[in-house]
Amino acid sequence: KAGVTQTPRYLIKTRGQQVTLSCSPISGHRSVSWYQQTPGQGLQFLFEYFSETQRNKGNFPGRFSGRQFSNSRSEMNVSTLELGDSALYLCASSLATTGGYTFGSGTRLTVV
Amino acid sequence: DAKTTQPNSMESNEEEPVHLPCNHSTISGTDYIHWYRQLPSQGPEYVIHGLTSNVNNRMASLAIAEDRKSSTLILHRATLRDAAVYYCILRDVGEWNDMRFGAGTRLTVKP
């Protein structure tokens, strides 16, 4: 079966712009989470959605937002990009709260 | 902040067993112990998880201490493809994805 698909794989944006990243979970998975990974901070939890509702949110500014659609696909948006937002953004999906998460390969965002 | 403690790095020889330790002294009764690994240029990959009893799957075994304050991920025969950063994470069954990743253990496998 298809894994978690993230698009695009690579993105270059300019400071001040906004960006939208997309994630398609494994079929049947209703939970989608987003993470930011940087060399300095490691993997940091952004937020999680289940059935179109945000269930949990990490410690990130309001410039970072997301949503989930009725087909479980999710998008995250970062507005007013800063150089420090350059990172690998990872999406993960899960079937249940007690199970493991399957991660996508990520979107590498570079802000110049 | 992460609720687990792992060594920064470990080395192993190819085809030998590897025991990756994790301390989680503040674990609660509803915390599952999850292990993930991340190969270079890839997203994390689920390895195994458990609550109280030892667990086995095709990738690895998870040995959980009786008091649950520590656990060990066991790779029975390390291969070069097992070289990765291994993360031990606690996940409360009652909370939606409270998975906080620490720095993990970087495993090097020598041929």
Structure tokens, B104: 């993990």
- A21: nearest Cα among B107, A29, B87, A32: A32
Query: Minimal Cα–Cα distance from B61 to chain A, Å?
Result: 15
Strands (E), A8-94: 10-13, 19-24, 31-38, 42-50, 53-57, 64-68, 74-78, 87-94
Q: Which residues of A touch B98 (CB under 8 A)?
A: 45, 56
Tell me if A105 sits within 8 A of B43, measured CB to CB. Answer: yes
The minimal CB distance from B96 to the residues A50, A99, A106 is found for A50
Residue of B32, B57, B97 to mutate for A, most A C-beta atoms under 10 A: B97
B98 has a pLDDT exceeding 80 = no
How far are the Cα atoms of A11, A41, A77, B108 from residue B89, in angstroms, in the given order?
A: 30, 16, 27, 20
Q: Do A97 and B87 touch (CB under 8 A)?
A: no
State which amino acid sits at residue B49.
H
How far are the Cα atoms of A98, A103, B40, B46, B65 from residue A23, in angstroms, in the given order?
A: 21, 10, 21, 18, 37
B108 has a pLDDT exceeding 60 = yes
**Would you state the pLDDT for residue B31?**
87
Query: Minimal Cα–Cα distance from A45 to chain B, Å?
Result: 7
Percentage of chain A beyond pLDDT 70 is: 96
Q: HSE (CB half, 13 Å, CA atoms) of B67?
A: 6
**Would you state the pLDDT for residue A1?**
61
Tell me if A35 sits within 8 A of A90, measured CB to CB. Answer: yes
Question: pLDDT tens digits, residue range B39-89?
Answer: 988 899 999 999 999 999 999 999 999 999 999 999 999 999 999 999 999
State which amino acid sits at residue B110.
K
Q: Do A101 and B46 touch (CB under 8 A)?
A: yes
A5 and chain B in contact, CB less than 8 A? no
